[in-house]
Structure 1
Amino acid sequence: MSVQVRPLGGKDFFAWLGLFEGYSEFYENELTDQKALQVWSWIIDKNNSLDGAVAVNEAGDFVGLAHYRTVTRTLSATMGLYLDDLFVAPDARGAGVGHALIAFTKGYAAERGLTQISLITAADNETAQALYDTVGTRTDWVTYEIGV
């Protein structure tokens, strides 16, 4: 499958929404209209650090998405990129779409002088881990969440 990866634009909402629904469903997270609109508003707001890209196949269908944001890296006094969300539509998996989205984010980071891309996935998402093992190095860091 041949795909083109490009930044998300203001007219992409409904096609993006289908992928974001799939991503939310994959992680068993209820996606409400309010949540979807909030995330979309962050993506299209140039004053917000969240940005996004989409993979589009030859037919013009959206088959993958990536959401990412610039972050400070205090110990190295550099800026990095956090790849928050990476999702490939089920019928497009195994065709290089994930690699294409990661390559796009890597180019995005390089163009901006960012030094590292960080990402996480669920401990049981072996498919994502297999992909990430081909493009990065698994770290020794353990992630925690604190509710507020």
Structure 2
Amino acid sequence: MSISARPASHHDLPRIAQLFDQYRQFYEQAPDAELARRFIGERFHKGESKLLAALDEAGEIVGFCQLYPSFCSVEAAPIYVLYDLFVDPAARKGGAGRALLLAAEALARQDGKARMDLTTARTNHAAQALYESLGWVRDEVFLAYSRRLAS
């Protein structure tokens, strides 16, 4: 299977929103197609994230990646946080994840980012193997914390 990756366009948003809804379900969130459509659309139209689409040889979108611009204070440099990456289960093991990661790296270099950061579930061994095969290094020094805020 021949896979390519490119920046997403406005016309790609409906399909990417479908995949985003599946991505959220992978992380044990309830299905919500409208929430997925709204969230992806807002990030895209406000320029708050960069979206990449993976396409199969027929030109169908089979995966996506979303990058958020941020900064590393220690390095005093801009970075991307690769927050979302998802490939349709039917298209997995065909190179879409790899194509998205390589396209994200190329975009980060083009945009002058010092590095990219990501987190993944401890149980997502397939993704971890892919990241490490592309030179991503697991952080063994820092622990990640989060705090849920009341709405």
What is the RMSD computed on CA atoms of the aligned residues?
A: 1.3
Match of 1:129 in 2: 128
TM-superposed CA distance for 1:111, in Å, is 0.5
- The gaps in structure 1 that reach 5 residues or longer are none
CA distance in 1, matches of 2:41, 2:67: 13
Match of 2:87 in 1: 88
- The gaps in structure 2 that reach 5 residues or longer are none
TM-superposed CA distance for 1:51, in Å, is 1.5
TM-superposed CA distance for 1:34, in Å, is 3.0
TM-superposed CA distance for 1:43, in Å, is 1.8
Query: Superposed, which structure 2 residues align to 1:14-25 within 5 Å?
Result: 14-25=14-25
CA distance in 1, matches of 2:23, 2:35: 16
Say yes or no: does 1:106 pair with 2:99. no
CA distance in 1, matches of 2:25, 2:143: 25
Given that 1:44 and 1:51 are in contact with CA atoms closer than 8 Å, whether structure 2 keeps it comes out as no
Give the length in aligned residue pairs.
146
Percent identity, aligned pairs only, is 29
TM-superposed CA distance for 1:58, in Å, is 1.3
Give TM-score scaled by structure 2 length: 0.90
Given that 1:72 and 1:79 are in contact with CA atoms closer than 8 Å, whether structure 2 keeps it comes out as yes
Give TM-score scaled by structure 1 length: 0.92
